[in-house]
Chain A
Amino acid sequence: MDAGLIAIGAGLAIGLSALGTAIAQAKIGAAAIGAILEKPESFVSVLILLVIPETLVIFGFTIAILIIYVLK
Chain B
Amino acid sequence: MIQRMAKMRIVGPVTLLDQVTELLQNLGVIHLEPSPGQIEGLPGIDRLALDPDHQKRKSALEKLRKDLHDLIVFLPDVRSPFPLPEPDHPSPRQGKHFLEEMKSAIDQLQPRVNGLSAQVRDCEEEQSLLFKYERVLEAMAPLLQQIQESRELDFIGLVIETEEEAVIEELRGVLGEITGNRFELFLSRVDSKSLAGLLVIHRDFSATVRESLWQENINELKLPSSLADRPFGQALKTLLTRRLELPIQIEGLRETLRQISFQWRSSLLRFEIWVENRLSQMESVVYFYQTRFAFMVYGWVPERKVFLLIHRVSRVFSGKIVAERMKMNREEINQVPVALENPPLIRPFETFIRSVSLPRYGSVDPTPFLAFFFPLFFGMILGDAGYGIILLAFSIYAGKKWGNLLLIQNLSAVFVFASLSSILFGFLYGEFFGELGVPIGIHPIWINRMEEFMVLIKISLGLGGCHLFLGMALGVMTAIRRREAKEVWVKGAGMILVAAVLMILAGTLGVLSSFFLARAGLILAVAAFIVILSFGGVRSLMELHNIVNLLSYLRLMGIGTASAALAFAANTVGRMSENVILGILAGSILHLINLLFGIFSPAIQSLRLHYVEFFGNFFQPGGREYRPFKKIKRV
Residues of A within 8 A of B (CB): 44-45, 47-48, 51-52, 54-55, 57-59, 61-62, 65, 69
A58 to chain B: closest CB distance in Å? 4
Can you report 12 residue pairs joining A to B where beta carbons are below 8 Å apart? A44-B355, A48-B612, A52-B612, A54-B555, A58-B554, A58-B559, A59-B551, A61-B561, A62-B457, A62-B554, A62-B558, A65-B454
Cα A55 to Cα B609 with chains together (Å): 11
* Residue contact A61 to B608, C-beta cutoff 8 Å: no
Interface residues on B, range: 20 to 34
Say yes or no for B356: interface residue by CB 8 A criterion: yes
Q: Which 7 A-B pairs have the closest CB atoms?
A: A58-B558, A44-B355, A58-B555, A61-B558, A65-B453, A62-B554, A51-B608
Contacts A51-B604, A62-B457: A44 and B356 contacting too (C-beta < 8 A)?
yes
- Do A55 and B611 touch across chains, with their CB atoms under 8 A apart? no
Give the distance to chain B from A7, nearest Cβ to Cβ, in Å: 16
A58 to B555, alpha carbons, bound, how many Å? 6
Confirm or deny: B119 has a beta carbon within 8 angstroms of a beta carbon on chain A: no
B607 within 8 A of partner (CB): yes
Extra pairs beyond A47-B604, A61-B554 (4, CB < 8 Å): A45-B356, A55-B552, A61-B562, A69-B454
User: Is B557 an interface position by the 8 A CB rule?
Assistant: yes
Task: Tell me what chain B mostly uses at the interface: helix, strand, loop, or mixed.
Answer: helix
Docked Cα-Cα span, A54 to B607, in Å, equals: 14
A69 partner residues in chain B, CB cutoff 8 A:
453-454
Of the candidates B453, B457, B559, the one having the most CB atoms from chain A within 10 angstroms of its own CB is B453
Residues of chain B in range 141-176 having any CB-CB distance to chain A below 8 Å: none
What A residues does B612 contact at CB under 8 A? 48, 52
Q: Is B605 an interface residue (CB 8 A)?
A: yes
Residue of A nearest to B356 (CB): A44
Q: Which residues of B contact A44 (CB under 8 A)?
A: 355-356
Q: Beyond A48-B608, A48-B612, A69-B453, is A55–B555 a contact (Cβ under 8 Å)?
A: yes
| Distance A11 CA – B356 CA, assembled complex (angstroms) | 37
Known pairs A58-B559, A62-B557, A65-B453; A52 contacts B608 (CB<8 A): yes
**In the docked arrangement, what's the CA distance between A44 and B356, Å?**
7
Which residue from chain B places its CB closest to the CB of A69 in the assembled complex?
Answer: B454
Query: Which residue on chain B has the smallest CB distance to residue A61?
Result: B558
Chain B residues near A58: list those with CB within 8 A: 552, 554-555, 558-559
Interface residues of B in 593-612 (CB under 8 A from A): 604-605, 607-608, 611-612
Residues of A within 8 A of B457 (CB): 62, 65
Residues of B within 8 A of A61 (CB): 554, 558, 561-562
CA distance A45 to B607 in the complex (A): 11
Q: Which residues in B have their C-beta under 8 angstroms from that of A57?
A: 558
Chain B contacts with A in 523-555, Cβ cutoff 8 A = 551-552, 554-555
User: What is the bound-complex CA distance between A58 and B561, given in angstroms?
Assistant: 11
When C-beta atoms are compared, the residue in chain A nearest to B352 turns out to be A44
Known: A58-B559, A62-B457. A51 touches B605 (CB 8 A): yes
- Per the bound structure, the CA–CA distance linking A64 and B454 in Å amounts to 12
B606 vs chain A, min Cβ distance (A) = 11
Mask: chain B, 544-580; 1 = CB below 8 Å from A; 0 = not: 0000000110110111011000000000000000000
**Which chain A positions have C-beta within 8 A of B555?**
54-55, 58
Q: Mark B75-102, 1 if CB is under 8 A from A, else 0.
A: 0000000000000000000000000000
A42 to chain B, nearest CB (A): 11
Give Cα distance in the complex from A51 to B554, angstroms: 14
- CB-defined contacts of A45 to chain B, threshold 8 Å: 356
Which of A48, A61, A62 neighbours the largest number of chain B CB atoms within 10 Å of its CB? A62
> How many angstroms between the C-alpha atoms of A44 and B453 in the bound complex?
32
**Shortest Cβ distance from A47 into B: residue:** B604
Report chain A residues within 8 Å CB of B551.
55, 59
Q: How far is the CB of B294 from chain A (nearest CB, A)?
A: 42
